[in-house]
Structure formats: C-alpha cells, structure tokens
Structure 1
Amino acid sequence: MNIAAAVNENFANYSNYLIRSAMFVYALAFLGHLAEWVFGGRSKIATQSAALTAEAAGQGEGGQGAAGGVAVKVTTRGGTTTLERPKVVTRASASDRGIADGPGAAGSSERGDLYGRIAVSFTILAWLLHFGGVALRAASVQRAPWGNMYEFSTTFGMVAVGAYLLLLALKKDVRWIGLFLTTTVLLDLGLALSVLYTSSDQLVPALHSYWLWIHVSCAIISGAVFYLAAVGSLLYLFRDHFEVALTAGRAQEGRWGDIMRRLPSAATLDKFAYRMNALVFPLWTFTIIAGAIWAQAAWGHYWEWDPKETWSFITWVAYAGYLHARATAGWKGRKAAYLALAAFACFLFNYYGVNIFVTGKHSYAGV
C-alpha cells in the first residue's frame, strides 16, 4: 500500500488553516487581556495605593517597625471613604501577612471587566479553532495527533488552554492567567508553524502502538498543568517581592505597582502552584511507568537510560523533591517557587533540548 495515499491532504490543509486562524483569534484575546490589565480600574487602584502607602508610613512612625504587615480594607458608604485600621503582622511568610487577594486584572472596574470578558470569549473561540485543527490533523492520517514535535506542540497548547478554560468553568478566579497563557500559546504555535512544522504523514513503525495514545497523552496533560503551576510560581516571586516592600512601607507606585496590586496575594499564588503540581504529579509518574512498559514491548527492555527516559526521570525527581520539601520540611514561599520553576525547566529541556539537540531512541521529533 502506498503510504502517501493514506494521507488525506485536504484534511491536513484544513488543519493548517484552522491552526493559523486560531493564532489570529488568540492574538485578539491577547490584546483583550492586555487592555484589561492596562485600562482596568487604574484610578481606583491608585487611590487605594495612596491610602495604603500613607497608612503603612504611619505604622512605621508609630513604632510598629518596618517589618510589620499591613492589611487595609477600604469601604465606601454615601460617598464617604473609610479606611479601617490595619492589622500588624510580625511574621515574614506570605501566608501570615494577612494581605488579601488583589481584585484581578480588571481592577474591579466595569471597563476592565468588559475587556476581560471579551478576551475570554476570544480565547474560547480560538480554542475551538485550535481543537478543530488538531482533530483534522489526526483525521488526515487516522492516528493520534502527536507523532512529532509539531503535533505535540499544537496539542500541548490546546490542552493548556483547555485546562485554563476548565478552571474558569469551575468558577475558579484564574483570569489573571489569561494574558500570560495567550502570550505563551502564540509563541508555541508560532514556533510550531515556523520551525517545527512537519507535513502530515504516517508514523515510523516503532510508534505503531496503543501506548502512543496512553503514554504521550498523559505527558501532554501533565506538561500543560505543570505550565499553569509554573506561571503561578513565577508570578508568586514578583508578588512576594512587592508584598515585602508593601509591609515595610515602601509601596511601589506607577504601572508596575498597579499590576502587582491586582494579582492574587503571594499566599494564594503559592497555594495555587502547589495544588496544580500535586494534582498532576501522579499522572506524570504514570507517564514514566507507561513509557517503560511501552519500551519493553518495543525494544525488549524497560529502561535503557535513553536521554528522553533519563530527563523524564530527572523531571520526576525534581517535582518529587518539591512536593517532599513542601510536605516534610515545610518549604513554602521563594525556596519552593525556585524549586518548582527548576522542575519545570527540566520538563522544557526534556521536550525541546532532548528532542532537538540529543540523539537517542526517542528521536521521532521530525526536525
């Protein structure tokens, strides 16, 4: 049978059109989220910032010390603004500062919220186009749509956006991820189309197995959730630095300070990252086990220290160390965030670095 005849070129071309269309709509979603951050509630945030800074300075003059934490609640009744007395916190950990979550990217303004809702609507439309592109790629060759790096990248982005939309559907306050997610997905799809692109074709013989559906799909889901957790860890580091300055009475002004005030608190970001990593770690463990079982069936050995196997295990050890440190040593905050980001860096190198620069039995990237 002619292999080329097994490829439905029409479906493959439609898939490419849909992926490019998804990129265009993701770009509109990116602009919507950017407008949400830039224009959402700027004046209100600035007003609260001034009140908070003045009160923090007053606490320092009153002898409470520069290390004290500040939590301020602003209420407005009948046109009169009341600033309640802050609670002084002497401990330095994010969970003990008593600082509430920010109002989100929209800054609690009607205008910013409108931009955010428009951005989410564009994200949903882009995801539907993205899903259609991945589905048609699979239909064009009648197999799983992740036989090379191009297909893995497009599917990875689709799953990451799907996980984000699922959290929104579950009424989780995660819209602050939207700007960073759409930026990353645009970069991911741009790289996939410009550098990693491979024409739709049949699999090499070694990949003809039902384990392709199980092993690689688990790896994609794990990576997508690890990515969301990494965003949380990275933003935690910025927000934590901001809160340290805030509790010391050195509140940052300007656009950067406005953005930091809108994010969830450092404690909330830390908890989000931990929960995402803990949620998906068992699936990553199963991914490695499934890969070993598939290796035994394909190559006759469960483990041969192939570069892909080795870096998958290194990634597992890094995340296991992170979770163990959180559970037993009580690591929270910056040390845990650095370790989580190092673990995600291992995952990224396992995908990009090993596939592009290292030769091994997993050299099916197609680049």
Structure 2
Amino acid sequence: MTDHESTTAWRELLDTLGSLDRTFLEGDRAVTDDRHIADGYRMLATTLGVAFDTYLFADPSRPRWVEVNSPVRPDRRWGGDNTDAYYFMCPVDPNRRYRISGNSGDSVYFSVTAYNEPSPGAWSDRIVAIVRDDDLDIDADGNFSFDFGPTPDAAVLMTRDYQDDPQTGRPVTWRIEALDEPDPFRHGDAETATALRSSAAWLRTMFAILPLAVGVRSEDAHTLGHEISTAANEFADPYQVPDANFGWSARDACYAYGSFVLEADEALVVTHRPPPCRFWNLVVWNQFMATPGVADARSSINGHTAVPNADGTVTVVISRGMTEHPNSITTLDYARGNLAFRWFLTDEVPARPEVSLVKVSDAPSTVT
C-alpha cells in the first residue's frame, strides 16, 4: 500500500521526537543530573502539546485562543516560564479581519502582540504589531474590544497578562472571532502533512536552544584561547527587546539573564534598583526555561510581592531551600539552573543587578 503524505509526515515527526533527547543527553549541552534529564522528557511532551495546538488543531479562519503558559498548568511550563502571567496564542491569517474582546480582570499589564512566521513551523523573527492595555478604551467594568487585521505578515497572536498575585487575581478573559466567512472545512491528507511537518520544525527549533547553558563558577573558569567561560552566579547586562527578535519576546520589556551553581549551604544575594515600570519580576528556571514546583515553592518574586529596602533597592536571597529573608526564593534544591529578570514599560534600561555568593548562614535575613 502506498503511504499517504500524512503517513510520511507522521513518521518524520516520530523520528524527530526519537532524536531530540540527544540535545540534553549528549555533547556540550548535556545536562549533568537526573532531575534535568527528567525535565528534558517533560519538556519534549510539553512542546509537542503546544505544537499540536498551534499547528495541527488550529484554523485561522475559525480562531480560538490556546493557553500556552499558565501559573497553574504543569504541561504549559516552557519557553521562558513565568509564574506571574498567563499567555495565550492564536494563529491568524494576515488577510483576515478579527475582533478581539474581553475583560481586564485584575491584570496590571496586558497586551496582544502579532508575530511573523518566516516559514511553516519556524519561530518568529519579527514583531509585526502590538496592542497594549493603554491603547484600548476599557469601560468601568473592565470590558474592551478592538478590531485587528488585515495585517501583512501577521501569522500568530500572543497575549500577555501579568498579575500581582496570580493565585488570587482574576486573569484577563479573552475572546476572538473572525469577521470574514470561514474557509471550507478541510482537514485532509495534504493539510495534515503540512501541520505535522510544521510541528516537527517547531520542536527542532525549541531544542536547538535548549537546554540553556549554565556558566561556570569563577574558581573553575579559565581564559585559554576561545574557551572563555560565561560566569555563573551573576547576570548579564539588561537589554531592551527590538522589533527584530527570535521567538516571542515582548517588545515593551527589558530582560536580564543569568545562571546559578549552588552548593546546599550557599545562597545568592541579588540586589537591584527597579526603575519606574508597570511590572517586574525575577524567576528561577531549570535549564529548560521552566519554573518547577510552582505549587510547592516560591520560585519567583515581583514588584508587588517584594519588600523593598529603605533606599528603594530590592534584595532577593536565592538558595536551594528557603531562608528567613522576606524576599527569599528557592531553586527547589536544584543545584544548577538559570535566572531571568524582566521589566515591563520602563523608560530606561535598568542597571545590571548586583550578585554576591555567600553561605546561607551569612545571607541577610531582613531588609535594610
């Protein structure tokens, strides 16, 4: 029997899935502990689910929002996880008109960003448009509505909804409807094959950047030839996202990334001065850009939950357990991983956060 194109594409997808664990088992990016190996397989399952929702089951002429990041869903922790926010995605047709509406809930910042797709399944490399909450007419009850499109090059919409306290705050409710007649219903062999190949391409791109590197501690670093190591336990300089980007970064955000390597009796003391901004947070990631154990650990802190020092700076103590400091967050006993700062709608790029490595017994226990 001759295989259909979708049969061939399905087997190609299975081959892709069967090979992607090499990215975290072999080579320079191999992880070094069993927890990260287990996280790697969970990330494979997570990204496959997102890929299917985005490519296999999506229909831009019959749009629907797909939840892609959530503080409460363990199967939606990926791609720059964030315990303070809800993200939804919706593939769209650049030639169609849409109406987006909803209610702002208790959001402190929300937006819809349109991204391009350079080829089927390829990650975006350009922000096409953005609509923020302060661009909208929001009534006294929090309701809003606006029209979007046609928008050349727009392939996918991504919503962002940041909450001071996602455990108690009401998330934004989102609706989307196409204002044009839908395409004839057809999920045949060719369409399915294209969707499966797009899903495989999306997965390959994800694992081209994962797992994230973790720097080496200063006492282990060397400067021989081209092997100058990125240092652990510090942050890189913050930067503002440009229109040209990779993936689904937020144009109105600044980011700073770092990594940690901690012994059981060590802590990082991180101090920064938040600039005036709508929202900021600091999150702990494993090497797959996911925050583990959200229900059992405080692994992030934001401008609402943080207790500032008297001079307006904020000090955060990061360790493998919890400490007495009011801004203590934990790696949930991960010895290695990554750290991410983000600041939304600030007029200036923040100064680089200061980091010191100390014994847990010497870490501050109060704000200054």
**Under a length normalisation based on structure 1, what TM-score does the superposition of the two structures give?**
0.24
**Under a length normalisation based on structure 2, what TM-score does the superposition of the two structures give?**
0.24
Higher relative contact order structure (alpha carbons within 8 Å, sequence separation ≥ 6): 1
Q: Greater helix share, 1 or 2?
A: 1
Q: Greater strand share, 1 or 2?
A: 2
